[in-house]
């Protein structure tokens, strides 16, 4: 393979083109090609050094990072912060890119983006212009929006795609054991569409997931994330969030292919996601 010889920008463009080509045709890649593509992986800061360290440097491109936890555990706050951070230049841990948010619960708040931008010394208007939000009204619509993400990515440099929440529509539309296999099949297709986007555009995919409040239906564990094995096996990084005192949250890394399991503390405040004091 000679096309990846140069470094930095030129090389990244070629990696993207090659990934796009192979994804379109469904081609095989050699181990060498995958290794070269993996060299293009970059990391987006979460806003918290603690959380970045837990993730091995931040949110990784070419993979899916999933946050799960109960209501109010900070999942949506982390997504807002990631969106703001992605617009920052590389020197400060960003991608200088645009962001796509698929919002399924109507919890995107531009006011929060403004607060977090100001805390970072960024111009909130500039940041807001780079965040593209699509409301998904049901699971079918959500799948469709993810499939169309690449159209937006041709117009804007999207390198962060957020789905908040990944599972809420699926959960409410496919109730009970009878609907489980259809739900899992659709979720599987959706997750692989997202993963494909992450590879083609060298993008971070960040998704949120609830914990099951119905242990009778969902795998018996009241703190188990929705979506079971399908979501678990496709997400590369899974972080379990739980509340602690004074705006603090405990983040636990679960099931990473190459990072040790571990826990850390982050702070949710008006300024956004930080290490706190
Ligand atoms: P979920 O995990 O359900 O998505 P959220 O990310 O929406 O939860 O977290 C909501 C919590 O975030 C609130 O309970 C509050 O603790 C914190 N929060 C939200 N907005 C602010 C703010 N402006 N200042 C401080 N804390 C905030
Ligand atoms: Mg939320």
Banded model confidence at residue 166, pLDDT cuts 50, 70, 90: very high
Task: Check residue 22 and give its pLDDT.
Answer: 65
Looking at the DSSP bridge assignments, the partners of residue 272 are: 269
Of 59-63, 143-147, 224-228, which range is least confident? 224-228
CATH number at residue 227: 3.40.50.300
Closest ligand 1 atom to Cα of 165? 4
- Average pLDDT over every residue of 169-189: 90
pLDDT at 7 over 70: no
> Which of 96-110, 176-190, 232-246: highest mean pLDDT?
96-110
Q: Is residue 176 in some structural domain?
A: yes
**How far is 4 from 185, CA to CA, in rounded Å?**
36
CA 71 / ligand 2 centre spacing (Å):
7
- Mean pLDDT of all residues in 18-39: 78
Q: What is the pLDDT of residues 29-68, one digit of tens each?
A: 888 988 888 899 999 999 999 999 999 999 999 999 999 9
26 in a domain, yes or no? no
For ligand 1, say whether the CB of 209 is within 6 Å of any of its atoms: no
Q: How far apart are CA 152 and CA 214, in angstroms?
A: 37
114-137 pLDDT tens trace: 999 999 999 999 999 999 999 999
Q: How far apart are CA 274 and CA 198, in angstroms?
A: 26
Domain that holds residue 57: 44-275
Pair 23, 199: CB distance under 8 Å? yes
Q: How far is the CA of 76 from the centre of ligand 2 (A)?
A: 4
Is any ligand 1 atom within 6 A of the Cβ of residue 73?
Answer: yes
What is the DSSP annotation of 37-95? Answer: HHHT--EE--S-HHHHHHTTSSEETTEEEEEEESTTSSHHHHHHHHHHHHTS-GGGT--
Residue count of the chain: 277
Instruction: Determine the angle formed by the axes of helices 139-155 and 180-200, rounding to 10 degrees.
Output: 10
pLDDT of residue 21: 67
Answer yes or no: is 164 within a domain: yes
Rounded distance from Cα 208 to ligand 2 centre (Å): 8
Does residue 2 register a pLDDT over 60? no
Phi, psi dihedrals of residue 2, rounded to the nearest 5°: -105, -5
Half-sphere exposure of 113 (CA within 13 A, CB side): 25
- pLDDT for 26 equals 64
The verdict on residue 33 lying in a domain is: no
Average pLDDT of the segment spanning 144-172? 96
pLDDT grade, residue 17 (50/70/90)? confident
Instruction: Give 54-63 pLDDT, tens digit per residue.
Output: 999 999 999 9
**Residue 100's closest CA among 172, 18, 159?**
159
* The pLDDT value given to residue 220: 47
Residue 28 lies in a domain: no
**What pLDDT, on the 0 to 100 scale, is given for residue 268?**
97
Question: Does ligand 1 have an atom closer than 6 angstroms to the CB of 109?
Answer: no
Ligand 1: residue whose CA is nearest its atom 20:
270
Mean pLDDT of 182-188: 92
Given a cut of 50, is residue 257 above it in pLDDT?
A: yes
Asked, for residue 20, whether it belongs to a domain, the answer is no
Q: Is the CB of 215 under 6 A from ligand 1?
A: no
Identify which of 67, 103, 108, 268 to mutate to test ligand 1's pocket (most ligand atoms within 8 A of the CB): 268
**Once rounded to an integer, what is the mean pLDDT over residues 9-22?**
69
According to the model, what pLDDT value does residue 256 have?
Answer: 79
| Cα 84 to ligand 1 centre (Å) | 16
Tell me how many domains the chain contains. 1
- In Å, how far are 114, 167, 226 from 142, measured between CA atoms? 26, 10, 16
pLDDT, average across residues 242-259: 90
Question: What spacing in Å lies between the alpha carbon of 210 and ligand 2's midpoint?
Answer: 9
Does the pLDDT of residue 241 top 80, yes or no?
yes
Residue 221 lies in a domain: yes
Q: Which two tokens stand for residue 191?
A: 């997750």
* Cα 165 to middle of ligand 2, angstroms: 7
pLDDT at position 178 over 60: yes
Longest dimension (CA), the chain: 55
pLDDT at 6: 43
Residue 3 lies in a domain: no
């Amino acid at each position: 393979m000679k096309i990846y010889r140069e470094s930095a920008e030129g090389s990244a463009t070629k990696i993207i083109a090659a990934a796009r080509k192979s994804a379109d045709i469904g081609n095989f890649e050699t181990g060498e090609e995958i290794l070269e593509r993996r060299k293009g992986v970059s990391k987006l800061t979460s806003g918290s050094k603690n959380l970045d360290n837990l993730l091995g440097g931040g949110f990784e491109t070419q993979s899916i990072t999933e946050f799960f936890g109960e209501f109010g555990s900070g999942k949506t706050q982390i997504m807002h912060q990631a969106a703001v951070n992605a617009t920052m230049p590389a020197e400060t841990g960003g991608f200088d890119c645009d962001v796509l948010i698929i919002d399924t619960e109507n919890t995107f708040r531009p006011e929060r983006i403004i607060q977090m931008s100001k805390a970072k010394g960024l111009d909130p208007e500039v940041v807001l212009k780079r965040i593209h939000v699509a409301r998904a009204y049901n699971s079918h619509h959500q799948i469709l929006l993810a499939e169309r993400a690449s159209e937006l990515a041709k117009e804007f440099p999207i390198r962060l795609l957020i789905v908040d929440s990944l599972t809420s529509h699926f959960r409410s539309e496919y109730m009970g054991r009878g609907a489980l296999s259809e739900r899992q099949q659709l979720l599987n297709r959706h997750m692989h569409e997202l993963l494909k986007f992450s590879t083609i555009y060298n993008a971070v995919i960040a998704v949120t997931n609830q914990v099951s409040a119905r242990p009778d239906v969902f795998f018996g564990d009241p703190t188990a994330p929705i979506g079971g094995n399908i979501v678990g096996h496709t997400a590369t990084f899974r972080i379990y969030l739980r509340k602690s005192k004074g705006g603090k949250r405990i983040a636990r890394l679960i099931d990473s292919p190459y990072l040790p399991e571990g826990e850390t503390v982050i702070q949710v405040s008006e300024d956004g996601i930080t290490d706190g004091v």
